[in-house]
Amino acid sequence: MKLGLLSLLATAATLLLTGCASTGNLTQIPGGARLVAESPAPLVYTADAPGTVYVRDRTTSAVVKSARLTPGQKFEMPAPAGAAYEVFFKAAEKREYHPSYNP
């Protein structure tokens, strides 16, 4: 019985460790997001539609900030000296009209 429990725990630990592995940049920035600014230029973007802005550190591939924006809302973030940041914007998904949504 102890051997079965140890085997189960070992399998669970392997699955957890495998599941935590990073698969690269694309898993952090959603598909369809477009690059709108990058350092050393100012990290400024004014939304033309509702959506979410994501700031990614190019050297670590980590998303360091995200924020929801409304149309016309300005996003501005100071970048530390020597930082390599990219700003992406993903427009909110619009629901397709269907008669069952609006009877």
Tell me: the pLDDT tens digits for 58-87? 999 999 999 999 999 999 999 888 889 999
- pLDDT of residue 26 exceeding 80, the answer is no
The model scores a pTM over 0.85 = no
More confidently predicted of 7 and 15: 7
Contact of 35 with 87, CB cutoff 8 Å? yes
- pLDDT of residue 90 exceeding 80, the answer is yes
Spatial distance between the Cα atoms of 2 and 72, rounded to a whole number of angstroms: 62
Supply the pLDDT for residue 45: 97
- Bridge partners for 56 per DSSP: 63, 86
Q: Which of 81, 60, 69 is nearest to 33 (CA)?
A: 69
Supply the pLDDT for residue 1: 46
